[in-house]
Amino acid sequence: MNGAYGVSETEKPLRVVIVDDEAPARSRMRDLLAECAGEIALEIAGEAASGREALELLSREPADLVLLDIRMPEMDGIEAARHLQNLEQPPAVVFATAYDDYAIRAFELHAIDYLLKPIRLARLREALARARAAPLRTDALREIARAPRAHLSAQERGRIHLIPIADVIYLKADLKYVTVRTAAREHLIEESLTRLEQEFGSRFLRVHRNCLVARVAVRGFERAEIAGEARWEVLLEGVDERIAVSRRQQHVMREFLRG
């Protein structure tokens, strides 16, 4: 059996994924996990070298626990963990870091488990033993994040679809979901528009109570008459749709035009 260790026949082995951009760090983690296998039934479900790879892997291979390095190119561990929460059954996450004062303080504050590299065997055992019991909280992750995410993620047929934030033209809230519009298509995500506005700040303009448009996509504004009522509309790059500017948000439009 590929990558499986374990003693107990009755208990289902813990499926673990290792995510680290440095090959020696992954190999060390493998060695340590092999040693833990004596006491805790576990199997290595896969390895990934970046946050993005990890998301692809976990969309295919369900796992119980992800050992996630924080500092990785392109998508760091904390952003990857946030996207992982979109999975049907999000795995438990234990972060690993060589040195990161800020993250460690945040983990302590939110009681999130983490490992310091070089990792000690005993410490890893503890983390494995606790893993199933401690699901990650989305709001805690949001608070830990230092920078806005580089992507939004939508769950589609059990897989995680990443949408680069630079591709987003507008975000529109209806009821429980937010529609993310890119030049290519629409996605539905389960997030709050207010939270998105807080996270991405000046990247978007709030033109309506239920809509944020990307500043870079704004081509201009136009006055339109609909059913005898005059209103302003935003013209956008990449889509033909027009977005209404609400009366209350007209000041945003004026500020934008002033630069």
Q: How far is the CB of 119 from another protein (least distance, A)?
A: 8
Q: What residues line the site for another protein (CB under 8 A)?
A: 21-25, 27-28, 31, 49-50, 71, 73-74, 98-100, 116-119, 147
Paired tokens of 93: 């996450």
Q: How far is the CB of 165 from another protein (least distance, A)?
A: 12
Q: How far is the CB of 30 from another protein (least distance, A)?
A: 9
Nearer to another protein, 71 or 110 (CB): 71
Q: How far is the CB of 43 from another protein (least distance, A)?
A: 20
Q: Using an 8 Å Cβ cutoff, are 82 and 141 in contact?
A: yes
Nearer to another protein, 36 or 236 (CB): 36
DSSP class of 4? B
Q: How many CB atoms lie within 10 A of CB 206?
A: 18
Q: How many CB atoms lie within 10 A of CB 201?
A: 8
Nearer to another protein, 43 or 100 (CB): 100
Taking the C-alpha atoms of residue 213 and residue 238, their distance in angstroms, rounded to an integer, is 12
Taking the C-alpha atoms of residue 142 and residue 199, their distance in angstroms, rounded to an integer, is 9
Q: How far is the CB of 20 from another protein (least distance, A)?
A: 9
Q: Which residues contact 223 (CB under 8 A, 6 or more apart)?
A: 230, 231, 232, 233
Nearer to another protein, 144 or 173 (CB): 144
Nearer to another protein, 118 or 201 (CB): 118
How far lies 256's CA from each of 38, 101, 109, 113, 178, in Å? 63, 38, 39, 44, 24
Q: How far is the CB of 99 from another protein (least distance, A)?
A: 4
The DSSP bridge partners found for residue 223 are: 232
Provide the Cα torsion 132, 133, 138, 142; round to 10°. Answer: -100
Nearer to another protein, 25 or 171 (CB): 25
